[in-house]
Structure 1
Amino acid sequence: MREHATPVAVLGTGSCAPDRVVSNAEVGAPAGVDDAWIVRKTAIRERRWAEPDQATSDLATGAARRALEAAGITADQLSTIVVATSTPDQQQPATAAFVHRNLGVSGTEVAAFDVNAVCAGFVYALDVVHALVSRSGGYGLAIGADVYSRILDPADARSVVLFGDGAGAAVVGPAGSGRGVRTSAFHFYSDMTELIQVPGGGSRRPYDPATHDAGLHYFRMDGRTAREFAGATVPGLVKQFLHDSAVLPYDVAHVIPHQPNGVMLDELAAKLDLPNATLHRTVSEFGNTGSASIPLTLDRAARSGALRRGDQILLVGMGGGVSIGLTLVEW
């Protein structure tokens, strides 16, 4: 567990989703499933998909601008930009480079780079930004952004119905005593690397006609095993994390989890044993937005007025690798 002694807080949040709404009927038809099946299995009713000219950095920039506005600072005050994504604009340079340019940051004394912990990525990005801002000062921007619609197999009902595109962001900066990002903990299960993956397109299986014909450029997931693993693992990790953080279960006011699917969230909520906590959801409207799901949901909760000063907020990230990240934020 990483304890954050320096008082650094989330000062503002923002989110961005494409305008295009994709219904269950539209996404389900090529996969041979209907609206009723998708709702029963996932509780997802629609999702947003990017237009052909929209990339991950475009959504990330939109979320970043809203977060900066909420925090009351300008892009030129940033010292750090970290983008969590597993669907970058391109292999090089980092998607954060395009966000830096899009925001019109005039200075060059900025750390701008990407991290990839798949759907848990934002929790990792937030921890990295916190560490850099705590050490060097200034303001940091943690972003989670993904455009999964680019890597989905239209015929794979197990995955194509789940995912949407989006971005969420948080500005991190100096805070008063007793307020801010408190603690984080990370866990990794590398014996399960094949559980969630895109096999082709990297250095092991470079993209070529053979990998394309085999469909290796598509996202693949063993959803049943992933769901069983999360249900058996995450509640125990949360219980230990809160104990190590000296936080009682009934003191947690909000849970902002990754949004894999609504049925899985129902199962998780029943096992967490946090009696006073509201578990926030955006999955029905946006689907699984990858690393964007936690900051997008956090932003929606913040803008709804649900989060009040002093509230203990638990962020729960789960992603391929398998990676799990937990962060406790005092609002």
Structure 2
Amino acid sequence: MSLTLAVRTPAARRAKISAIGTYVPSRVLTNQDLEKMVETSDEWIYSRVGIRERHIAAENEATSDLAVAAARKCLASRGIEGSEVDAIIVATVTPDMFFPATACIVQDKLGAKGAWGFDLSAACSGFVYALQMGTKLVESGAHSKVLVIGADKMSSIIDYTDRTTCVLFGDGAGAVLIEPAEQDEIGLIDFVHEIDGSGAPALNMPAGGSAHPSSIATIESKMHYVHQDGQAVYKFAVRKMAEAAEKVLTRNQITGADLAAFIPHQANKRIIESSADRLGLPIEKVVINIDRYGNTTAGTIPLAMGTAVEENRIKKGDLVLIASVGAGFTVGATLLRWEI
């Protein structure tokens, strides 16, 4: 006797960003402030990277606090409580601690009692990667409300006597809610991700992990701070951010003219402008807020999304392209329709 089981599969569905929230700490560190700390100048910093100021978290303000502040704004704009969230993904390289995951701490602070979650480490590409993880959870039918957060307290791992890195980074967070798209909506369309581990020595924090556990020697050698080969990172980022963006556009038969906005990772204004030029995009379509926030690592793209919304740069139905390059090296680009 044979037995045939009826296999139930969820109907195919798309995912969209349904809400967004951002947060930056109140303290501002300007280029003029940095002039008093290291040998640099406002003109040097702005002309080379496009930054005028960045926000710095208070000593008692952890990455989870930044993440929760952004998440609360996101949920409030959607009109829902934390208890309605199914899953939480936190992209960060500055977790509150190695374990538990910062997502666990965020879940507790939000009162998201029914949610599970995890952290994702992909440096400046973290939010782009986490966005796809959240998207696939919704598209699969497993969940209907996934909170994706990019948050970093970069000031906690920056050596403020190193002028090559301390001028670049700031603290901040952004959160989006991923939900099923309505029948007439498109939402998330496609993505391109790539890693190149040969670039790991060019941008990293050498100590604290199993390769170099914390010790007096690692502390004295300043191995718990960000170390960067600026030229190597710049050359890779200029080439790969544009390549990933071009690939996802070509695959979907989209041109720069079809885009309402390009929202790139905010690491260096020259990298952003170079990528836009290669894509044939006028600067008016490129969202740039690095002058106000610096490089907030996983926070940059959701913060820039927030800027685009605040400045009425994007509206429902617009085609939007996001792209990033980060330590690893990590590369990511996503094409979506804005459905808020």
Q: Same fold (TM over 0.5)?
A: yes
User: What amino acid is the match of 2:294?
Assistant: G
How many residue pairs get matched? 325
Note closer, same or farther for the CA distance 1:235–1:281 as it changes in structure 2 (3 Å cut): same
SS at match of 1:172: strand
Structure 1 gap segments, 5+ residues each: none
Question: How far is the alpha carbon of 1:73 from its aligned partner?
Answer: 2.0
Counterparts of 1:179 and 1:128 in 2: how far apart (Å)?
17
Counterparts of 1:287 and 1:249 in 2: how far apart (Å)?
26
Deviations 1:242-266 (A, max 9, x none): 1112323311111111000223322
Alignment-derived partner of residue 141 in structure 1: 147
2:204 to 174, 197, 208: 197
Deviations 1:200-227 (A, max 9, x none): 1111101110001111111011111111
8 Å contact from structure 2 (residues 90, 151) kept in 1: yes
8 Å contact from structure 1 (residues 250, 277) kept in 2: no
RMSD after superposition: 1.4
Alignment-derived partner of residue 18 in structure 1: 25
User: What amino acid is the match of 2:117?
Assistant: A
Question: How far is the alpha carbon of 1:268 from its aligned partner?
Answer: 2.4
Counterparts of 1:62 and 1:261 in 2: how far apart (Å)?
26
2:250 to 243, 246, 249: 243
8 Å contact from structure 1 (residues 145, 167) kept in 2: yes
Question: How far is the alpha carbon of 1:236 from its aligned partner?
Answer: 2.6
Alignment-derived partner of residue 163 in structure 1: 169
Alignment-derived partner of residue 176 in structure 1: 182
Identity of aligned residues (%): 35
Alignment-derived partner of residue 287 in structure 2: 280
TM-score, normalisation: structure 2: 0.92
After TM superposition, the structure 1 = structure 2 runs for residues 1-331 of structure 1, keeping only pairs within 5 Å, are 6-107=13-114, 110-135=115-140, 136-177=142-183, 178-275=185-282, 278-331=285-338
Counterparts of 1:215 and 1:70 in 2: how far apart (Å)?
42
Question: How far is the alpha carbon of 1:277 from its aligned partner?
Answer: 6.6
TM-score, normalisation: structure 1: 0.95
Counterparts of 1:247 and 1:272 in 2: how far apart (Å)?
11
Counterparts of 2:49 and 2:311 in 1: how far apart (Å)?
24
Flag the structure with larger Rg: 2
Deviations 1:30-59 (A, max 9, x none): 321121211122211100000000000000
Deviations 1:155-202 (A, max 9, x none): 211110000000001001021233211111101111111111000111
